Amino acid sequence: MLPFKSGLYHLARARPEVDLVPVWIANLNKVMPKGEVVPVPLICTLTFGAPLHLLPDETKDVFLARATAALTSLTPVNGGQA
């Protein structure tokens, strides 16, 4: 997984009322192969995490690290349900 870009932080700061929900998509590489425009009709599993919000005085780096940890916790290797 690549590091999150700062846009997620800016979105959380601009719209604090919006729930940012981490979602892990298992089998994504087969459902949406690289370079394809239309998804392949295969089964995939979605695992949803708890909503994230920017905490008061939270820095960009800390928020992005927390968002990364929230998504990583949903992976099958790290105990997620997918």
Q: Domain spans of the chain? A: 16-78
What are the beta bridge partners of residue 52? 20
pLDDT in tens, 4-24: 999 999 999 999 999 999 999
pLDDT tens profile 26-79: 877 777 778 877 777 777 888 999 999 999 999 999 999 999 999 999 988 755
Going from the C-alpha of 10 to that of each of 36, 77, 79, the distances in angstroms are: 29, 29, 29
